[in-house]
Amino acid sequence: MAAGGDHSALKVVASDAIDASTAGEVHVEIRAAVKRFGGTKDSGGVHALGPISFSIKRGEFFAVVGPSGCGKSTLLDLLAGLARPTEGSVVIEGVETKGAVPDGVGAVFQEDASFYWLDVFDNIAFGLRRSRLGREEIRRRVDYAIDFMGLRDFAHAFPAQLSGGMRQRMCIARTLVMEPRFILLDEPFGALDQQTRLLMGEELLRLWRETGATILLITHSLDEAAMLADRIGVMSARPGRFISIIETHWPRSRTSEIVSDPAFGRINAQIWSLLRKESIISMGRK
């Protein structure tokens, strides 16, 4: 899923910096958002999320962790414009979403979203062919994304012929070609083994650096959050709220080698010390 920008080429910025003119600018803001399902404003139904307030700077990598059922995916749905908050607001690039998919937003989900009857090239081109772009521009963008994600040798392979990691790279490429300025990732590597997840994390960091996009990652993996993010929002048991936001202070040039840094272990331990009680609550234990 993606809403494309009005750019004529995939934006690439310096690998260790974002555009100085937009550095520090608030890109995304959640303002006292609450989400309830069923019931009324004051009673009944399920209080899934909030109130929750936070902002993400342009070009930032923000991760969200929390116990099962705490509202992480509900939060992503609000940001993607797939749902509307019961109370509060979601503002992206200064515009309130009001439950509509915002311009310049792309999403990648955990579920395999490949079209099994299309090859890699046509899977990636799927959304572009529903745009007003010409054939040559579509080919240029798809060729770039295929090379960027290391899929050149498999451009005409079908999803059944790919590994899980390659299919997920294909899905990321399908979002990349739409040139999103804000990328939402909901457990995109959840079905992969740990070694592949680390390598896919490196690919994701490279994409983030080279495109300059703002990224929000939902993950159950504390390692993944600690390695990838500039900041990590730790959520409570339902109704989900942020109980802490942890800054990692990693350089933009980081890779998976950062897991050997003693600070990585300290960040992991800090996240778990916050999450343990909330996870017990979410499991229904006293």
Catalogue the E-assigned strands of 120-213.
182-186
Q: Please check whether residue 259 is in contact with residue 239, taking contact to mean a CB–CB distance below 8 angstroms.
A: no
How high is the pLDDT of residue 18? 40
Is residue 209 predicted with pLDDT exceeding 60? yes
Q: In the predicted model, what is the mean pLDDT of residues 194-203?
A: 84
How high is the pLDDT of residue 187? 86
Which neighbouring-strand residues pair with 19?
Answer: none
Q: Give phi and psi for 112, each to the nearest 5.
A: -65, 110
CA 238 to chain centre: 21
How high is the pLDDT of residue 38? 84
How high is the pLDDT of residue 17? 36
DSSP 260-283: GSHHHHHHHHHHHHHHHHHHHHHT
Which neighbouring-strand residues pair with 249?
Answer: none
Q: Please check whether residue 225 is in contact with residue 248, taking contact to mean a CB–CB distance below 8 angstroms.
A: no
In terms of Cα–Cα distance, which of 91, 29, 102, 101 is closest to 60? 29
Q: Over the chain, what is the mean pLDDT?
A: 86
Cα(65)–Cα(260) distance, integer angstroms: 21
In tens, the pLDDT along 127-143 reads 888 888 888 999 999 99
Q: What percent of the chain has pLDDT over 70?
A: 88
- Choose the weakest-confidence range: 154-158, 167-171, 255-259: 167-171
Q: What is the DSSP letter of 2?
A: B
Instruction: Look at the block and give the residue holding tokens 């939402």.
Output: 184
95-126 as b/e, with b when 16 or more CB fall inside 10 Å? eebeeeebbbbbbbbbeebbeeeebbbebbbb
Q: How far apart are the first and last CA of the chain?
A: 40
How high is the pLDDT of residue 282? 78
Is residue 276 predicted with pLDDT exceeding 60? yes
How high is the pLDDT of residue 2? 45
In tens, the pLDDT along 63-102 reads 999 998 899 999 999 999 999 999 999 999 999 988 788 8
Cα(143)–Cα(75) distance, integer angstroms: 33
Q: In the predicted model, what is the mean pLDDT of residues 220-238?
A: 94
Q: Please check whether residue 169 is in contact with residue 177, taking contact to mean a CB–CB distance below 8 angstroms.
A: no
Cα(153)–Cα(133) distance, integer angstroms: 25
Q: What percent of the chain has pLDDT over 90?
A: 58
Specify the DSSP element, H or E, that contains 181: none
Give all domains of the chain, ordered by start, each with its CATH number.
Answer: 26-111+179-282 (3.40.50.300)
* Highest averaged pLDDT of the listed ranges 56-65, 76-85, 185-194, 195-204: 56-65
In tens, the pLDDT along 113-127 reads 789 999 999 999 998
How high is the pLDDT of residue 219? 92
How high is the pLDDT of residue 165? 82
3 state SS of 124: helix
Cα(9)–Cα(120) distance, integer angstroms: 21
Q: Please check whether residue 168 is in contact with residue 188, taking contact to mean a CB–CB distance below 8 angstroms.
A: yes
How high is the pLDDT of residue 111? 74
Q: What is the DSSP letter of 85?
A: -
Q: Give phi and psi for 106, each to the nearest 5.
A: -130, 150
Q: Please check whether residue 235 is in contact with residue 72, taking contact to mean a CB–CB distance below 8 angstroms.
A: yes
* Highest averaged pLDDT of the listed ranges 29-43, 130-144, 254-268: 254-268
More confident position, 18 or 225: 225
Q: Please check whether residue 15 is in contact with residue 210, taking contact to mean a CB–CB distance below 8 angstroms.
A: yes
Q: In the predicted model, what is the mean pLDDT of residues 23-48?
A: 83
